Structure 1
Amino acid sequence: MPTVNQDQASYPDKIDARLWRIAGVCVLGSFMNLLDTTVVTVAQRTWVATFGSSQAVVGWTITGYTLALAAVIPLSGWAADRFGTKRIFLGSVLAFTLGSLLCAVAPNITLLIAARVVQGIGGGLLTTLTLTIVNREAGPKRVGRVMAVLGIPVVLAPAFGPVVGGWLIDSYSWQWIFWVNLPVGVAAIGLAAMVLPSDDPAPQETFDVIGMLLLSPGLPALLYGMSEIPSRGTMADRHVWIPVATGTALIVGFVFHALYRTDKPLIDLRLLTNRAFTLTNAAMFFYIVSTFGASVLWPSYFQQLLNYTPLQAGMGVVPRGIGAAVTMPLAGMLMDRRGARGILFIGVTLIVAGMGVFAYGVVGRQEALPALLTGLTMVGLGMGATRMPLVAVAMQTLAPHQMARGSTLIKVNQQVAAAVGTALMSVILTSQLNRESAAGANPADLSHAYGVAFVTAIVLAGLTFIPLAFMYKRPEATTPRHTEQRSGQSSTGVR
């Protein structure tokens, strides 16, 4: 049985077959999780008709999953340290597969929502464990290339998930969007048992009960309140401000507790004293707010202004996924050879420029369809050169024993950023559409409203340059793991 490399200071430059097998297992688990997240979006109307329910109730198949995911992410770092990453990975894939089975046989909407919560528990643990496992095994010299492989599900699942879901529902039945997970899940469990390295759990690792009671309900409450903003239309609605205020208060309480009341917090906020780790997370926040928010607008624009069907709208954003798939492996190779800073600047520049080209196409309407597709392709190229390199840089700055908690902090940051981006763009678009309608604008010509929203996304993407500009070159002679062995502290520079 393979074991974790104990000599953290020595990693080869070449990626061997063993590391590819480990990365492949992680990709399989991630792809199953991320694909299912996007597939269910096209089943919403089908469930409304099948179960005779309302869209508000059916929407909880997505909301329940998201909240369960948010609730368990803070626990994943402690669980990985306490029980070992391999055991938790196997358990999380098992939970997700079991949840898929329960979804497929659910006789009513209530049990379907409950089964989606089970899926969310498994999915939340998977999202952080894959980062920890891959980074521990790859080391700083190979992490860029391996993270590029791990990023494949991130870019392909949103692009092809709605297409796959629509095909399964139209050709077979909605149950098949869950049935297909069973053989994949069983294969992932079998391969993980054989391939993933066994690490040493730390039975003495104490559990931060107070931190769990503060953060596990606080984060879902905050995200739920933000998710209600688009449908409620205002922050003043009690369905928005009560969960947002409650979640914020609990999170603030956790911050105080983690910094001043315990030596073993659920999430180690002291990692933010690492300058490079903080800068990369700040850049990641702006990047996700802009791109995730824009991803909400693209399908809506295609359907509302260009009269595309949902399937056509899904196909319309495929160029973004293709663009990301092209640059992601190239960015990984260049990062391992030359460092990430230049790649990140190029990636963000492509995102900003691509959004600008798309915004130009929005003004031109149908006559500028080539500009829309060109803009989406450019954004995809930029995303492939930005997302996983940012994550890799953040993980590179951590010592091996910090990776599980660091992965958790990164995922919490990503979850909050995605919620902020979705809520912000939805509110801006809704307010602009209401203003256009009040002014008597032609409902078929509301391109100005979308233009304002896309310009906002461009500005937010541009803010990513600020933390990137403060990143400094990491000395070639040392790596975070070398530094860890000498002084017990992780490096604070990036390459």
Structure 2
Amino acid sequence: MNRLTGRELRIAAVIALGGLMAVLDTTIVAVALPRFMTTFSASLTTIQWIATAYALGMVAAMPLAATFAQRWGARRVYLAALLVFAVASAGAGAAGDLGWLIAARAVQGLAGGLINPLGMTIGFGAVAPERRSRMTTITGLPLLIGPILGPMLGGILLDGLSWRALFFITVPPALLAVAGVLRWVPADVPSTERTPIDVAGGLLLVPGVVAVAYGFSEESAGLEIRVAIVAIGLALMAVFTRRSWRHRAPLLNVRLLRDRTFGRNAAVLVLYAGPYFGSMLLMPAYIQVIRGDSALVSAAMMVPGTIGMSISIQLAARLLERFGPRIVVGTGLSLAAVSTVLTVLVLAPDTSYTTLAILGAIQGAGTGAIMMPTIVSAGRDLRGPDLASGSAILPLASTIASAVGTAVVSAAFTGLIAASTAGRGLAALSDPAADAALTGQIVDAYRLTLVGVLAVMVLALVVRLRTRPTTPTTEPTKVRSAA
């Protein structure tokens, strides 16, 4: 058995705690935007920057994690990121005006963007390759449940305390994680090869990923402006990729994508993360706008998926050791696809919430068997600087895919609704003259959007199944492992 030792479990718990704080802060403020508008007497376009500044800070910092880890050591940089995150969280909670709050959120995001890639580097480096799947069942859980728990916790804190509690709440856990790292995580040795930092690469990649993330997520800008920003970002990223392919010590080793194991798994991660996180906005819209129920009901409907995901991650770690990621991830993708097909078939203006909860649990179970096993499979053979680069590339790719997926799903859903309501959109339901036929048309728009989501999931399944078996990822077992 490849169980984690007591020391490894403590390291995993510390990394999970730090990672949860960083992920929670991506969504914890979502429910508070209307409160911020009233508090600071500002428009939604301005208030949105409380969320946008954090997100852009994260994507700006992620590409730097590998270089920082190689130069100064992953543990040292991880500790610094946790401390900066705690200070910035306290600063956000104590903000006296909107500008101060947005600035603190940007610093929070910069620190948060380093925490999970460095945590992955530390976690993978702390165990033998055959136990990386077990390590990831703990360290990777926040990446999946954090975005779901964020709005729920935010609503509780906002109703029970104040908006300042949304930021103060992460300070004690971050400091606790610092204490845990100091006590249990062994110091690593930075690279003795003092190669210059790839400044030119940073000036290409960081603005590039920020521009792409901003262009896809900032809905207040005009379409033409957003398209131009995305095009500039993609151009910068393309130049960085071409340059880094030949550079001796690039900011990120993009040559890893040429490796069949890493590249195929990265593709599966991107293809699934985009539609999955993008489709998360559909159910709350269905519950609150079409069904007219509260945000609390929306939050409650997220719980079955979270439970299914949590159980699935634990089972997937064990099955991964025996059957390999090709079978485990393929099964997860199949479950997710079946859940989506059934949702398309049964969704109606009055579908039983019990039915939707069961389908959500199946979707969560599939996701748990996809995301973490894919990350483990991608990084199973990485060592040293390649491990640091891979640990930065994977969350960065997933983050950008999520931004793109959310924007595309939102645009598709909005466009289909506009076509069904003569351009009035969801506001048509507030019309007293709105009838059951109109509601049915909007539900049909939801179902058609899910068909598009399903198509990308099937593509991810094809990519996963077309990956040919390679050497086993663990010690010999009765069943040969697949890539």
| Cα separation, partners in 2 of 1:439 and 1:175, compared to 1, 3 Å | closer
| Counterpart position of 1:215 | 205
The yes-or-no answer on 1:372 pairing with 2:356 is yes
TM-score, length-normalised on structure 1?
A: 0.90
| Counterpart position of 1:433 | 417
The yes-or-no answer on 1:255 pairing with 2:244 is no
| Counterpart position of 1:4 | none
Report matched runs for 1:79-118 at 5 Å. Answer: 79-118=68-107
| Counterpart position of 2:478 | none
Moved more, 369-378 or 286-295: 369-378
Equivalent residue letter for 1:466: V
Q: Distance in 2 between matches of 1:338 and 1:241?
A: 43
Moved more, 308-317 or 110-119: 308-317
Deviation of the 1:371 alpha carbon: 2.6
Cα deviation 1:168-198 (Å, max 9, x = unaligned): 1111111111111121111111111111111
- Of 452, 457, 461, which residue of structure 2 is paired with 1:456? 452
- Of 282, 286, 302, which residue of structure 2 is paired with 1:317? 302
| Counterpart position of 1:294 | 279
| Counterpart position of 1:423 | 407
| Counterpart position of 2:256 | 271
Deviation of the 1:58 alpha carbon: 0.8
| Counterpart position of 1:174 | 163
- Of 221, 226, 230, which residue of structure 1 is paired with 2:216? 226
Cα deviation 1:87-116 (Å, max 9, x = unaligned): 011011011111100110101111111000
1:279–1:470: 8 Å Cα contact kept in structure 2? no
1:335–1:389: 8 Å Cα contact kept in structure 2? yes
Q: Distance in 2 between matches of 1:278 and 1:30?
A: 24
Aligned residues: 465
Q: Distance in 2 between matches of 1:417 and 1:54?
A: 28
Report matched runs for 1:8-87 at 5 Å. Answer: 13-87=2-76
Q: List alignment gaps of at least 5 residues for structure 1.
A: 1-11, 480-492
Equivalent residue letter for 1:74: P
| Cα separation, partners in 2 of 1:402 and 1:50, compared to 1, 3 Å | same
| Counterpart position of 1:303 | 288
Q: Distance in 2 between matches of 1:439 and 1:383?
A: 35
- Of 392, 397, 405, which residue of structure 2 is paired with 1:413? 397
Deviation of the 1:323 alpha carbon: 0.8
Q: Secondary structure at the match of 2:129?
A: coil
Deviation of the 1:337 alpha carbon: 2.9
- Of 268, 278, 299, which residue of structure 2 is paired with 1:283? 268
Q: Distance in 1 between matches of 2:44 and 2:237?
A: 30
Q: Distance in 1 between matches of 2:216 and 2:63?
A: 19
Deviation of the 1:271 alpha carbon: 0.9
| Counterpart position of 2:382 | 398
TM-score, length-normalised on structure 2?
A: 0.92
| Counterpart position of 2:327 | 342
| Counterpart position of 1:198 | 187
Deviation of the 1:155 alpha carbon: 2.9
2:321–2:473: 8 Å Cα contact kept in structure 1? no
- Of 148, 152, 158, which residue of structure 1 is paired with 2:141? 152
1:81–1:205: 8 Å Cα contact kept in structure 2? no
| Cα separation, partners in 2 of 1:31 and 1:69, compared to 1, 3 Å | same
Q: Secondary structure at the match of 1:383?
A: helix
Q: CA RMSD in A?
A: 1.9
The yes-or-no answer on 1:359 pairing with 2:344 is yes
2:129–2:474: 8 Å Cα contact kept in structure 1? no
Q: Distance in 2 between matches of 1:367 and 1:413?
A: 35
